[in-house]
Structure 1
Amino acid sequence: MMSARWRPLALQDVEAAAAWYGSEAGMQRELAFIKALESAVAVIARHPDVGSSRYAMLLQLPEILSWPLKGYPYLLFYTAHAADIVIWRVLQMQRDIPAWMMDSP
């Protein structure tokens, strides 16, 4: 299984989403979100090519893949490399994904 490296914006995305679930729905929902995220990371770490390339052309990032978080309206955006996966963003599906992906730290 590959290791995961997190980009700073991805970590910020996770912190913001988890905090929102915690404040709006309580600690259990926040922890469930984190568990769904951990499960998604485990899947792509075991099977790095499993993600969708739907946004690759749109974003002009040919290697970017996405994978949904089960039970949550979020996509995890990542690239797969020989030794690891790099998680770039964790974004709500309803957002303007191309604009959010291009945000700089």
Structure 2
Amino acid sequence: MKGRPVIPRAVARQDIESAVEHYLNEDAEKAALGLIDELEKVFGLLARHPESGSSRYAHELDLPGLRSWPLKRYPYLIFYVVRADHIDVWRVLHAMQDIPAWMTEGD
């Protein structure tokens, strides 16, 4: 079962590019590639099981339908909303950031 397509918004793609660039600037090419691999795995999981993510931030930010999923090996959270025909990835943020402030940027 493939599931719904996972479609990152432009700002989510920028988040991912920034995270990869950070690892590359630290001469951690293996970590950069590992981050991309883990994101692909999680996107596949979310495509098949979109309701798996936590709704914690939906309540905190008053954004109904917002879900989040943490990466296991990297300190990032994927923020997304389940749509009828796809998974709408809003942001991919470092877990130590001010999540409420970052979620409102780039709208």
| TM-score range for the pair, normalised by the shorter chain length | over 0.9
Corresponding position of 2:76: 74
Corresponding position of 2:14: 12
> Are 2:58 and 1:53 equivalent residues in the alignment?
no
Corresponding residue to 1:100 among 89, 99, 102: 102
Corresponding position of 2:5: 3
Q: TM-score, normalised by structure 1?
A: 0.95
User: Letter of the aligned partner of 2:69 in structure 1?
Assistant: W
User: Letter of the aligned partner of 1:85 in structure 2?
Assistant: I
SS at match of 1:62: coil
CA distance in 2 between counterparts of 1:96 and 1:74 reads: 12
CA distance in 1 between counterparts of 2:30 and 2:68 reads: 26
User: Letter of the aligned partner of 2:75 in structure 1?
Assistant: P
Q: Deviations over 1:41-72 (max 9, x none)?
A: 11111100000001001111011000011200
Corresponding position of 2:31: 29
Computed over aligned residues only, the root mean square deviation of the Cα atoms, in angstroms, reads 1.0
User: Letter of the aligned partner of 1:15 in structure 2?
Assistant: E
Deviation (angstroms), 1:83: 1.2
Unaligned stretches of 5+ residues in structure 2: none
Q: TM-score, normalised by structure 2?
A: 0.93
Identical counterparts, % of pairs: 46
